[in-house]
C-alpha cells in the first residue's frame, strides 16, 4: 500500500480523480509520508529519481465531478433510509432493531408465544449487527462518555426486553451491567446530586439488597460526601437515610 506521490494510483482511488485527500465521502482513507530511504529499499524509486509536480484537474471539471458524487451519495443515503424505515428487520441497524422490539412489547398487553419468538428473533438480529457491546470492551474509564451512555442505554433496553419475554436470567445480567457502567460513570464524573439520586433509586428498586448492590450504593454515597453534601435538595437527609438502611440490612 505504498506508492510514489506522482503515481496515477492516487487519481484512480479518488472518487474525484484527484491525487490527494479526501478520496471519497466518508471513505476513512488516509495517507502518511515514508522516508525516501524506505522507498528506495522497496525499489519504488532510484536514488537519482526526483518526484515532479502533479498536474491537477481544472476547477470546473472538479466541480462537475463533485456534484455528481454528491448526488450519488445523497440518492444512496435516501434509499438506505427508506429501506431501514420500511423494512427494519432486514435493513435496520442494531439500535433500530432494539427499538422495534421495545415497540412490539409496548403495543401488546399480553404477549402470545408467537410474539415472544418474534421479539427474540428481532433481538438476535440486533445483537448480530453489533448492538451487544461492552462485556469484552476496554475498561469503561477508557470509553468516551457518549459511547458509554449508548452502551448503558443498550443494556437497559436488553434488560427490559428479556424481562418482558420471560428470560429473567438474561434480564438480570443486562440490568446489572447497566448499573455497573452507570455507577462507574458517576463515580468518575457525577456531582453530589447525581450520586445521591442514583443511590436512592438503586435502593428503591431493590427488594433484597445483595452485597454487590450494597457496595455500589455505599460507594455512591461515600463519593458524594467526598465531593461535599449540603442541605440543598435534602441531600444530607437522603444520604443519612440511605446509609442507615443499607447498613441495617
Q: What would the pLDDT profile of 176-226 be if each residue is shown by its tens digit? A: 888 998 999 899 888 999 999 999 999 888 777 888 888 999 999 999 999
Per the confidence metrics, is the pTM higher than 0.85?
no
Report which DSSP code applies to 5: T
Q: Which is more confidently placed, 73 or 33?
A: 33
Helices marked H in the chain: 9-13, 36-41, 59-86, 88-91, 94-106, 113-128, 145-164, 168-189, 192-204, 211-227, 235-248
pLDDT in tens, 138-159: 555 667 778 888 888 888 888 8
For residue 51, report the phi and psi dihedrals to the nearest 5 degrees: -85, 125
Q: Tell me the mean pLDDT in the region 67-71.
A: 80
pLDDT in tens, 118-135: 888 888 888 887 775 555
Q: Please choose, from the candidates 108, 98, 120, the residue with its C-alpha nearest in 3D space to the C-alpha of residue 166.
A: 120
Amino acid at each position: 500500500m505504498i506508492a510514489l506521490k506522482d503515481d496515477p494510483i492516487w487519481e484512480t482511488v479518488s472518487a474525484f480523480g484527484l491525487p490527494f485527500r479526501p478520496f471519497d465521502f466518508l471513505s476513512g482513507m488516509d495517507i502518511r509520508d515514508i522516508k525516501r530511504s524506505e522507498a528506495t529499499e522497496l525499489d519504488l524509486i532510484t536514488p537519482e529519481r526526483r518526484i515532479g509536480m502533479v498536474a491537477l484537474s481544472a476547477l470546473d471539471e472538479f466541480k462537475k465531478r463533485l456534484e455528481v458524487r454528491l448526488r450519488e451519495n445523497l440518492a444512496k443515503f435516501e434509499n438506505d433510509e427508506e429501506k431501514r424505515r420500511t423494512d427494519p428487520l432486514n435493513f435496520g441497524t442494531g439500535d433500530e432493531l432494539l427499538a422495534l422490539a421495545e415497540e412490539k412489547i409496548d403495543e401488546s398487553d399480553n404477549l402470545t408465544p408467537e410474539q415472544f419468538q418474534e421479539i427474540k428473533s428481532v433481538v438476535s438480529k440486533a445483537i448480530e449487527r453489533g448492538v451487544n457491546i461492552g462485556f469484552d470492551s476496554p475498561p469503561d474509564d477508557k470509553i468516551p462518555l457518549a459511547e458509554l451512555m449508548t452502551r448503558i442505554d443498550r443494556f437497559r433496553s436488553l434488560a427490559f426486553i428479556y424481562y418482558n419475554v420471560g428470560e429473567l436470567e438474561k434480564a438480570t445480567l443486562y440490568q446489572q451491567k447497566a448499573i455497573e457502567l452507570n455507577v462507574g460513570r458517576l463515580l468518575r464524573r457525577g456531582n453530589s446530586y447525581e450520586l445521591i439520586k442514583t443511590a436512592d433509586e438503586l435502593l428503591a428498586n431493590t427488594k433484597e439488597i445483595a452485597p454487590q448492590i450494597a457496595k455500589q450504593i455505599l460507594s455512591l454515597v461515600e463519593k458524594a460526601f467526598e465531593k461535599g453534601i449540603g442541605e440543598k435538595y435534602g441531600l444530607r437527609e437522603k444520604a443519612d437515610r440511605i446509609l442507615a438502611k443499607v447498613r441495617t440490612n
